[in-house]
Chains A and B, each alone.
Chain A
Amino acid sequence: MSSLLDVRDLSVAFDTAAGRFNAVQSVDLTVASGEVLCVVGESGSGKSVSVLAVMGLLPPTGRVTSQEIRFRGEDLRTATPRARRRLIGRDVAMVFQEPTSSLNPCYTIGWQIGEALRVHGATAPSQVRRRVLDLLGQVGVPAPEQRMRSFPHQLSGGLNQRVMIAMAIACDPALLIADEPTTALDVTVQQGVLDLLVGLQRDRGMGLVLITHDMGVVAQTAQRVQVMYAGQVMEEQPADPLFAHPRHPYTAALLDALPERAEGKLRLPTIPGMVPGIDDRPGGCLFAPRCRFTTPKCTADRPALRPVNGAKVRCHYPLDDAGQPTGWTLGGST
């Protein structure tokens, strides 16, 4: 697998009325061809902002810094957002949560997919038409001949999302970034869209970054998983071991809070408190105010993301296979 995207130490700060807000802090993001990376986290954890920063799609109020942003080895950091979009526009495509707000209500979906092809150089009308039909078929839109003449409002949310995916893969991207692509859809439709994304990724050897807040979606699709919290990556692991042995107390607590894992329990295990906001981000570990293992060390020092048992974990006391914090003592030495 050759590396497609290499992002190191990405931070994004917004200047707001209430002061500077670090929406993303020191995030690494790497994806290889043929790989499915899931980025999972609760709302506001910085999932969307980090990929928008890479794509150069943030508003100017977002200040982006990084050690490295490479696409296929080429450094994008010095490029202006505009130049960056031109550099990677053909090779990286994005799919968003709300298909109906990303599609233009005034044009047929056939025209809109055709436009995606024309932007990338296809010109002959007959060739465009053939490609549009072919793409609609590939994304599983039934009766493409008829559907290409439909307007977005005439199609269901699931079909519109398939149209968005058709537009995204129109120029044969090497990397597809899908930001909550199924969050607005019913589970019955979600399944089909996820199968489609993973199928396209496999058949075309694309890299796929799937952003979601849903651990079930992660379990069904991911090879590798990054868990984000309050703007930082807390843990990174291949999917199976992540669910069997979460190493970060936050991941473990999040999985425990799933109703699915509470079989026979009357109450769900909860995480006390709330995600810190702009004015109450703690200085040490961002999860310290809510963690059951917090020690003075946690409150004082922000842990680095470091390798543990095939995972990367941002915690002073990564969990062992029994879910116990290693090196932990009540007073918080080591």
Chain B
Amino acid sequence: MSVLAADNVTRHYKIGGRHVLKAVDGVSFELLAGRTLAVVGESGCGKSTLARLCALMEPPTAGAISIAGKPTAANQSLQLQNQMVFQNPYGSLNPRRTIGAILVEPLTINNRGSKPERIAAARRMLDRVGLRPEAFDRYPHMFSGGQRQRVAIARALMLSPAVVTADEPVSALDVSVQAQVLNLMRDLQDELGIAYLFISHDISVVRHMAQDVLVMYCGRPAEQGLRGEVLDRPLHPYTRMLLSSTPFVDPARRRMTMPVRGELPSPIDPPPGCAFNTRCPYAADRCTVERPALRSVESRLVACHFAEKIATEAPI
């Protein structure tokens, strides 16, 4: 069952009256129950905006989002089915409220259960995310970054959502703590069947967590499909560039050696045609005038004029 679906979702921002910034421009996907879809790309490519749209924190300027199979346009209450976890475990928790109050709040606002039931539910959740009972009466500043991220995850789960949208949930954490939080997210998924929309810029984390991958560039999908296709046999030159520039520890993983060229173009004035043409080693005249459509090539979707040609090249 599709728990979260985006149909040609678009978010344009007006900048200074004259310019339009296309933060998200025509993204579609379907996230099934119990699965993880990762969104990857450089900063500014629209990951967080897409996350906010999917969590119904702001409306798309075009396109539609469905949650649990229902269109969200006229039904804001579906928001409860998609809860968010943010990157910064320091800024996302109210410093003046105890952990217990933070966890009980979503239940109170939505009139779930009696007061003792809410408190009992919060205590169970605290235990479930691996925090001690004493944490209930403490304040966020008394916890480390990793523990706060556990609290943020606990808060997101209080209303038993079908989807959790996590925007760079482990990017601010050290490796050993990151591993603990990723394991927790994995365990909760197995146990509760929740789906994750998992935003990350870290390819290794994505490979570990997600079954489905969406690579974005300048607000548009560059390549999307199963992890095994997109990350192991990438066909879009941008996916290849991302993989080539990832600093892997294991030399065997550093097999992709596509040179990195140039920098991200300005988001208010992206290059015409394929937005990647200014950095792409495959770019030809056609790429500067005609925008490549997202189409199916070798069991994934890819937006590059030369995807078929790249597919016939030696596997990287």
Question: Smallest Cβ distance from A277 to chain B, in angstroms?
Answer: 9
Is A220 an interface residue, CB under 8 A from the partner?
yes
- Quick one: which of A187, A215, A270, A275 contacts B245, CB cutoff 8 A? A187
Tell me whether A270 and B241 are in contact in the complex, defined as CB-CB below 8 angstroms, given that A187-B246, A213-B174, A259-B204 are known contacts. Answer: no
Question: Smallest Cβ distance from B99 to chain A, in angstroms?
Answer: 17
* Cα-based distance from A214 to B208 in the complex (angstroms): 17
Contact assessment for A216 and B246 in the assembled complex, using a CB-CB cutoff below 8 Å:
yes
Is B247 an interface residue, CB under 8 A from the partner?
yes
Question: Smallest Cβ distance from A182 to chain B, in angstroms?
Answer: 9
Binary flags per residue of A41-54, CB closer than 8 Å to B gives 1, else 0:
01100000000000
Contact assessment for B182 and A268 in the assembled complex, using a CB-CB cutoff below 8 Å:
yes
Binary flags per residue of B182-205, CB closer than 8 Å to A gives 1, else 0:
110011000000000000011111
Is B253 an interface residue, CB under 8 A from the partner?
yes
* Cα-based distance from A268 to B75 in the complex (angstroms): 39
B207 contacts which chain A residues (CB < 8 A)? 259-260
Q: Chain A: how many interface residues by the 8 Å CB criterion?
A: 39
- Quick one: which of B241, B247, B260 contacts A214, CB cutoff 8 A? B247
- Quick one: which of B146, B203, B247 contacts A220, CB cutoff 8 A? B247
- Quick one: which of A190, A254, A267, A274 contacts B144, CB cutoff 8 A? A274
Is A88 an interface residue, CB under 8 A from the partner?
no
Tell me whether A217 and B175 are in contact in the complex, defined as CB-CB below 8 angstroms, given that A186-B43, A259-B204, A267-B183 are known contacts. Answer: no
Is B125 an interface residue, CB under 8 A from the partner?
no
- Quick one: which of A158, A189, A215 contacts B249, CB cutoff 8 A? A215
Is B242 an interface residue, CB under 8 A from the partner?
yes
Tell me whether A258 and B263 are in contact in the complex, defined as CB-CB below 8 angstroms, given that A268-B183, A270-B180 are known contacts. Answer: no
Is B248 an interface residue, CB under 8 A from the partner?
yes
Interface residues of B, dominant DSSP: helix
A200 contacts which chain B residues (CB < 8 A)? none
Interface residues on B, range: 35 or more
Is A192 an interface residue, CB under 8 A from the partner?
yes
Most buried by B among A192, A260, A269: A260
A190 contacts which chain B residues (CB < 8 A)? 245, 247
- Quick one: which of A158, A191, A257 contacts B176, CB cutoff 8 A? A257
* Cα-based distance from A309 to B94 in the complex (angstroms): 51
* Cα-based distance from A215 to B175 in the complex (angstroms): 9
Is B28 an interface residue, CB under 8 A from the partner?
no
Is A17 an interface residue, CB under 8 A from the partner?
no
* Nearest-neighbor residue (CB-CB) of A220 within chain B: B247
Question: Smallest Cβ distance from A191 to chain B, in angstroms?
Answer: 4
Is A159 an interface residue, CB under 8 A from the partner?
yes
* Cα-based distance from A115 to B181 in the complex (angstroms): 46
Contact assessment for B186 and A254 in the assembled complex, using a CB-CB cutoff below 8 Å:
no
* Cα-based distance from A189 to B44 in the complex (angstroms): 13
Q: Which residues of B, 226-284, contact A by the 8 Å Cβ criterion?
A: 241-242, 244-251, 253-254, 260, 263-264
B203 contacts which chain A residues (CB < 8 A)? 187
Contact assessment for A269 and B42 in the assembled complex, using a CB-CB cutoff below 8 Å:
no
Is B179 an interface residue, CB under 8 A from the partner?
yes
* Cα-based distance from A219 to B254 in the complex (angstroms): 11
A214 contacts which chain B residues (CB < 8 A)? 247
Tell me whether A257 and B179 are in contact in the complex, defined as CB-CB below 8 angstroms, given that A43-B174, A189-B263, A274-B146 are known contacts. Answer: yes
Question: Smallest Cβ distance from B60 to chain A, in angstroms?
Answer: 26
Contact assessment for B263 and A260 in the assembled complex, using a CB-CB cutoff below 8 Å:
no
Tell me whether A216 and B248 are in contact in the complex, defined as CB-CB below 8 angstroms, given that A186-B43, A189-B263, A267-B183 are known contacts. Answer: yes
Is B178 an interface residue, CB under 8 A from the partner?
yes
Contact assessment for B208 and A259 in the assembled complex, using a CB-CB cutoff below 8 Å:
yes
Is A292 an interface residue, CB under 8 A from the partner?
no
* Cα-based distance from A12 to B50 in the complex (angstroms): 46
* Cα-based distance from A228 to B256 in the complex (angstroms): 31
* Nearest-neighbor residue (CB-CB) of A265 within chain B: B208
Contact assessment for A257 and B175 in the assembled complex, using a CB-CB cutoff below 8 Å:
yes
* Nearest-neighbor residue (CB-CB) of A213 within chain B: B174
* Cα-based distance from A271 to B177 in the complex (angstroms): 8
* Cα-based distance from A215 to B247 in the complex (angstroms): 8
Most buried by B among A187, A243, A261, A266: A187
- Quick one: which of B42, B146, B179, B241 contacts A268, CB cutoff 8 A? B179
* Cα-based distance from A215 to B204 in the complex (angstroms): 12
A304 contacts which chain B residues (CB < 8 A)? none
* Cα-based distance from A220 to B208 in the complex (angstroms): 21
- Quick one: which of A188, A218, A261, A270 contacts B260, CB cutoff 8 A? A188
A-B contact pairs, 29 of them (CB 8 A): A42-B174, A42-B176, A43-B174, A156-B264, A186-B201, A186-B264, A187-B247, A188-B42, A188-B242, A188-B263, A190-B245, A190-B247, A213-B174, A216-B248, A220-B247, A220-B254, A257-B179, A258-B249, A259-B209, A260-B207, A260-B248, A260-B253, A267-B186, A268-B179, A268-B183, A271-B179, A274-B144, A274-B177, A275-B174
Q: Lowest 4 CB-CB distances: which A-B pairs, in order?
A: A216-B247, A259-B208, A268-B179, A42-B174
Can you name 4 extra interface pairs (CB under 8 A) apart from A188-B260, A194-B247? A188-B241, A190-B247, A216-B204, A243-B249
